[in-house]
Structure 1
Amino acid sequence: MKILVLNSGSSSLKYQLFEMPNEQPLCSGLVDRIGLEGSTITHKNLKSGKEEKFLIETPIQDHEAGLLKVTELLKDTEKGSISDNSEIEAIGHRVVHGGEQFASTTLITEVVKAKIKELFALAPLHNPPNYLGITVAERIFPNAKQVAVFDTAFHQSMPPLAYRYAVPKEMYSQLGIRAYGFHGTSHQYVSKKALKYLQNPNAKIISIHLGNGCSMTAIDSGKSIDTSMGLGPMGGLIMGTRAGDIDPSIIFHLINERGYSSKEVNEILNKKSGLLGLSGFSDMRDVKKAIEEGNKDAKLAYQLYAYRIQKYIGSFTAVLKGLDAIVFTAGIGENDPDMRAEVCKGMDFFGIQLDLLLNSQKTQTIREVNQKGSPVKILVIPTNEELEIGQQTFEIVRK
């Protein structure tokens, strides 16, 4: 069965085509700058185990035009892997916010689409383009089963102690104000890999997803019991441009005393804070380069980023009442050994003991970077959200 995975953003469209159930990737790519000048498609094709990469520069007016271009590439005799649209039996869509309505992957119906629209207010930057990707895919692949995989679903196992806020209860019951958590697809994927590696289905794990967006999850026996992000994807850890946890009184001070509008404050906390606000750079590679050049702001940003992660390791270890492993994943978590060392520094009393030599080595597979005999395993596991979406889509449609 061929399954297409789509991750639709406001001006981008990530895609990957899998042959299931053997999980063989056939094609993947990114449609970038949709509706903007300089639109491009980066397309990768796997033939005979070799990856071929193509860069196509072409105007792409909207998501429908983008998906049509992707369909052309998938059917191209040189670049593609199918001969007709009908070969794709199912499409798995990443949907960021599923609220309390969706605790698992689900087949998309008109009722499901209506509920996704109702959740626009909880994820205004993400759910609208996710929804748009669904409607476009329905038109281009009318015979394929459409499946929604929600970022928030993995965290629906959290108990009320973890997801409730200390606000009037009608805000929860009537307005849905609670912690939902995000990056669930990534946390679920790497935690499954970790449990298998540890050969312990009841292991207590802290998953640390560090990319441009960052989050951590406390996982007990494969279930999320707490996570760093809340109602939206802005809380918790310091991120590329997001502030993470702050005192809410800062928001009211800026609005009531300093004359900022709520829109301006939202823009600052979402797009002008985090590493960017602290150092002037949103990309961790640029932050590290600036540190090498003696930039004190960049050094503070790097240390503060790690410090916040350490605080969550402490709190989540308390929530789990023990710890068997921590898992580093996503772009920074997988590829920045210095950040892993900064996070693990001085954490011996938690049983977290990093082996600097193992930590400095690079592989593309799951690896252990802790000292021999360390009470807590330190694992680096490459995430693959697209494969997780493909797996969950396959499980739904084959029933």
Structure 2
Amino acid sequence: MPVILVINPGSTSTKLALFRNLEMISEHTIRHSPDDLSRFSSLYEQRMFRKKLIADFLESAGHPLSEIDAIIGRGGMLRPLEGGTYAVSEAMIDDLRSAKYGEHASNLGAIIAYELSRESGREIPAFIADPVVVDEMEPVAKLTGHPDYSRRSIFHALNQKAVAREVASRYGKKYDEMNFVVIHMGGGISIGAHRRGRVVDVNNALNGDGPFSPERAGTLPITGLIKLCYSGRYSKEEVKKLIKGKGGLFAYTGTNDCQKIQQAIVDGDKKAELAYRAMAYQIVKWAGRMAAALSGDVDSIIITGGIAYDRRFMVPWLTEKLSFLAPIDVVPGGNEELSLAVACLRVLEGNEMAKEYRRAE
């Protein structure tokens, strides 16, 4: 049974896990303080620091690198890709090292996996799976109304595809035999139309598209945004922060903590309730868009992400509005480490071929 090392770097943490097949045998989340990371002039320079912590984790878990059969890292900001599991390659590392398509902590997942593989002396297979830049959108979905910019596919691809596979198996089918609308609700909210294993349309959950979320403003009325930008009240960076970081529920309630908002509703806070209901209302409208993109042929609407744990308010509100479209399946959370291990094992067992990453032509 193969032992798989999962590496999931975040901006303030590194999440690590060891799996034997799909049984987790050890996990650890390492928190990084601002002082830990401020001494590095770039994200890429953090890799040695984080690699040392990974070595310490392996030692404490009793599984040195020599006993690891495969490594899979969180996919980073690469060129647009179709979904799947990719073998880490020099071309991929070059794009991540240079931050050609954007700098994000998840870029380090593939970089560290690649370096550990080379340092092992036996080149352990190294992979990434379903990075946030998965792009399977149909050409018609990318036009915005003006040729100067197009809609981009940036979303919670790893979790969306993982839960879609899980729900398909519940129905006794494969992912590529079913149609889903998948609603991932976290700090950002992404809603995807999955047609026979491909996400043919989805909102850009990172850069201001879709419903508002706990901290992101989502799609805004354009003329209002233009007036805001030229009002003289905000700098460019401040406007960007209003859209991502200080938008959404945070702007309306002063917090992005949904549990606090839920408690405020219980305590009778009508302002908090209106904001939370409005977020649910926008989610419903975007889910309806995605159902329409699938011509109404939807086998299930899947509700996932951290906010899907809210069975008191959010899940019932969404179910009430959406259940006429299709059955509702709730898969709370977003276990990225397990999803990565599952993707890796599919390749190791020969159920899926690892894809090759190539530079954009």
TM-score (norm. length: structure 1): 0.75
**RMSD (Å) for aligned C-alpha atoms:** 2.7
Cα offset, 1:289, TM superposition: 1.2
Cα offset, 1:114, TM superposition: 1.9
Q: Distance in 2 between matches of 1:3 and 1:347?
A: 39
Moved over 6 A (4+): none
- Residue 198 of structure 2 is aligned to residue 195 of structure 1: no
Q: Distance in 1 between matches of 2:130 and 2:279?
A: 27
Q: Which structure exhibits the higher relative contact order, with contacts defined as CA atoms closer than 8 Å and separated by 6 or more residues?
A: 2
Q: Distance in 2 between matches of 1:150 and 1:117?
A: 19
Q: What one-letter code is carried by the residue in structure 2 that aligns with 1:379? A: D
Q: How does 1:4-43 map to 2 (within 5 A)?
A: 4-20=5-21, 23-36=22-35
Q: Distance in 2 between matches of 1:111 and 1:204?
A: 33
Contact 2:141 2:151 in 1 (8 A): no
Q: What one-letter code is carried by the residue in structure 2 that aligns with 1:91? A: I
1:340-360 Cα distance to aligned partner (Å, 9 max, x none): 111122446x34xxxxxxxxx
Q: How does 1:1-399 map to 2 (within 5 A)?
A: 1-20=2-21, 23-36=22-35, 64-76=48-60, 80-82=61-63, 84-100=64-80, 103-117=83-97, 120-121=100-101, 123-124=102-103, 126=104, 129-140=105-116, 142-143=119-120, 144-152=124-132, 155-168=134-147, 171=148, 177-201=150-174, 202-229=177-204, 232-322=206-296, 323-347=298-322, 350-351=324-325, 376-382=326-332, 383-396=334-347
- The change in CA–CA distance for 1:136 and 1:181 in structure 2 (over 3 A counts) is closer
Give unpaired runs (5+ residues) of structure 1.
Answer: 38-60, 352-375
Contact 1:165 1:179 in 2 (8 A): no
Contact 1:189 1:384 in 2 (8 A): no
Q: What one-letter code is carried by the residue in structure 2 that aligns with 1:380? A: V
**Alignment length (residue pairs):** 334
- The change in CA–CA distance for 1:270 and 1:395 in structure 2 (over 3 A counts) is same
- The change in CA–CA distance for 1:249 and 1:63 in structure 2 (over 3 A counts) is farther
Residue 39 of structure 2: aligned partner: none
Which has the higher mean CA deviation after the structures are superposed, 276-285 or 136-145? 136-145
Contact 2:81 2:136 in 1 (8 A): no
Q: Distance in 2 between matches of 1:347 and 1:72?
A: 48
TM-score (norm. length: structure 2): 0.82
Cα offset, 1:163, TM superposition: 2.8
Q: Distance in 1 between matches of 2:195 and 2:152?
A: 18
1:322-375 Cα distance to aligned partner (Å, 9 max, x none): 222111112111343421111122446x34xxxxxxxxxxxxxxxxxxxxxxxx
Contact 1:212 1:283 in 2 (8 A): no
1:94-140 Cα distance to aligned partner (Å, 9 max, x none): 1243332565432222211122356555x44x2xx223344444445
Secondary structure class of the residue paired with 1:156:
coil
Give unpaired runs (5+ residues) of structure 2.
Answer: 37-44, 351-361
Cα offset, 1:279, TM superposition: 0.8
Q: State the identity %.
A: 25
- The change in CA–CA distance for 1:197 and 1:233 in structure 2 (over 3 A counts) is farther
Cα offset, 1:198, TM superposition: 1.9
1:294-337 Cα distance to aligned partner (Å, 9 max, x none): 32221111111110111012212211122221111121113434
Q: Distance in 2 between matches of 1:101 and 1:184?
A: 11
